[in-house]
Chain A
């Protein structure tokens, strides 16, 4: 396959070049309407998209027929192909109707990734489950595009711990993302943890989440490190549906990293609560460009959105743009954004107790991050994310149970009893 210069391609030439199936014509039409992203595109205003669009990409097509191994609770997707599956999870690989449904995504690369994906990996949960979804990338310098679709049947409760491994794929561009369909009364807890080093693969993950009536989506994204990447999310909430979206970002070096999102309240009495915490060091740029839209049909909506950022250096920058677009009167909504530095009064208090300045700074930064890590219900996940954040921030982890649980009290009681 010839190298692809994305910025110069039209949807038609892409269809032809990629040999895309006619079923993807809808994606092509929508991409044509949005146009290929440029630095003037709303969704990519704060992200350096142009070098990616101007690069001659070799598109990687995974032709290997991978053997699928059976695991305990782990789904592994290697370069866009399923290579491991747990028992009891139904996975279908093939065409998906994901984009043929009613939602319209704001991100052109959502449609581009659909167009470029050979197949959509559809994962269906018919029962309650707790799984780890590992995305593994091995091809350096290439463009890899694939999509996953996640279906939760009614009344199911699923936790997906989504992780990324791509040490070998330095310089690659990954166009991917999930279409999640959460049926009535179901709950999806999606925990994404992605630490990127400078020079690692660059992820542009575009997601669509449809939350059906009385269903719940808990989204927790943890983006750490010196590498760049962007997640673009469109969520649709139907009657009495709810989404709680937390985004913790720690970006350093020259990273351009963050979240662009649209949460659309379609049904009555739906609720959303979106919280972003951003810690930016050196010359990093954080992005939180988030719109909450309440449609005419979204009476009695409750929508709250907040972004807080700490700049650790003069060169760090936060592009925070929380927005509300409301077409009705009967609702409760708020949004806010703050950007600042570490609180000097808090820093002094800790130092006045003999804690060294660097250690005190670390404690305050961890404290800032802890609110979103502690929001995880799963104790093991909390501990893992505490460790993950400390490792990204501090280069090592010193997490003890004292910070994350109450087990030490029992230990102390036992010790006292002796």
Chain B
């Protein structure tokens, strides 16, 4: 692989006393869509949490090199400011935090980090409203509390809205298709596809191949028992659909 944006080397991570990732190796290429597939409990979400610095995860060994730097000890906000974005499987509800205020704070934190001038309220809202419309979200969601009372589909669209506003370099989509109806899946996928620019990288974590009909992957990685056991091209999806994860053995 050339132009590796993230290189995960021999990653061991645990939640509490239980080791979940057991020497995971993975390279993510710049501008490519990588899909991670695997059975329940394989460690897919743990991987996304380890990359973003989640408080539940303790990395016990190995490295996560992002743009050449080992980020294992970085704070979550520093990883985000450097361009890592996780679209959560179950975004948390935060009553009392206005959606627009939250997102403007995040956007301006990133702009400040990049040495850019902060957006004023009018500029920010103009941009946000355009994207809200594009994603088929209700305009009133701008002023609602963050994710509070949102349906599953609304939460996922709100994640994509944040992604589009923050313009990250590495996007991790954790089960982005779960709980979405066909229309929502299409809207979310279109949003993701618009973000493809040949430079930005994607890590799509999923159980099912359905989302991969909308977001065409360049690589498929099979994660099983805390390790990547197979990497191949998109053709692997059909094989997995046919034979299941049980038939895939470690190379």
- A341-367 to B contact mask, C-beta < 8 Å, 1/0: 001111011111111110110011011
Interface status of A2 (Cβ within 8 A of chain B): no
Binds A, one of B25-33, B99-107, B177-185, B216-224: B99-107
Interface range on chain A (Cβ under 8 Å from partner): 35 or more
- A385-418 to B contact mask, C-beta < 8 Å, 1/0: 0000000000000001111001011011011100
Contact present for B109 and A406 (CB under 8 Å): no
Contact present for B88 and A402 (CB under 8 Å): no
Interface status of B135 (Cβ within 8 A of chain A): no
Residues of B within 8 A of A345 (CB): 92
A375 → chain B closest CB, angstroms: 11
Contact present for A364 and B94 (CB under 8 Å): yes
Interface residues of B in 73-116 (CB under 8 A from A): 75-77, 79-81, 85-86, 88, 91-92, 94-98, 100-106, 109-110, 113
Contact present for A408 and B122 (CB under 8 Å): yes
Interface of A, secondary structure class, is: helix
B169 → chain A closest CB, angstroms: 12
**Nearest-CB residue, chain B, relative to A363:** B97
Residues of A within 8 A of B55 (CB): 344, 348
Interface residues of A in 147-202 (CB under 8 A from B): none
Interface status of A83 (Cβ within 8 A of chain B): no
What is the bound-complex CA distance between A343 and B55, given in angstroms?
Answer: 12
Contact present for A355 and B106 (CB under 8 Å): yes
Interface status of A38 (Cβ within 8 A of chain B): no
Q: Which of B88, B96, B123 has the most CB of A within 10 A?
A: B96
Contact present for B95 and A367 (CB under 8 Å): yes
Interface range on chain B (Cβ under 8 Å from partner): 35 or more
Contact present for A357 and B92 (CB under 8 Å): no
Interface status of B65 (Cβ within 8 A of chain A): no
Contact present for B96 and A370 (CB under 8 Å): yes
Contact present for B76 and A371 (CB under 8 Å): no
Interface status of A368 (Cβ within 8 A of chain B): yes
Contact present for B97 and A354 (CB under 8 Å): no
**Nearest-CB residue, chain B, relative to A401:** B121
Contact present for B97 and A408 (CB under 8 Å): no
Contact present for A412 and B129 (CB under 8 Å): yes
Residues of A within 8 A of B193 (CB): none
Interface status of B52 (Cβ within 8 A of chain A): yes
Contact present for B54 and A355 (CB under 8 Å): no
Contact present for B143 and A359 (CB under 8 Å): no
Contact present for B101 and A357 (CB under 8 Å): no
Contact present for B76 and A352 (CB under 8 Å): yes
If the complex has contacts A408-B122, A412-B121, A415-B122, are A354 and B96 also in contact, measured as CB distance less than 8 A?
no
**Nearest-CB residue, chain A, relative to B79:** A352
Contact present for A349 and B88 (CB under 8 Å): yes
Interface status of B166 (Cβ within 8 A of chain A): yes
**Nearest-CB residue, chain A, relative to B125:** A412
Q: Which of A344, A353, A409, A416 has the most CB of B within 10 A?
A: A353
**Nearest-CB residue, chain B, relative to A409:** B125
Contact present for A355 and B97 (CB under 8 Å): no
Contact present for B95 and A356 (CB under 8 Å): no
Name A402's contact: one of B79, B121, B126 (CB within 8 Å). B121
What is the bound-complex CA distance between A314 and B95, given in angstroms?
Answer: 25
- A287-310 to B contact mask, C-beta < 8 Å, 1/0: 000000000000000000000000
Interface residues of A in 116-149 (CB under 8 A from B): none
Interface status of B142 (Cβ within 8 A of chain A): yes
Residues of B within 8 A of A414 (CB): 122
What is the bound-complex CA distance between A363 and B146, given in angstroms?
Answer: 12
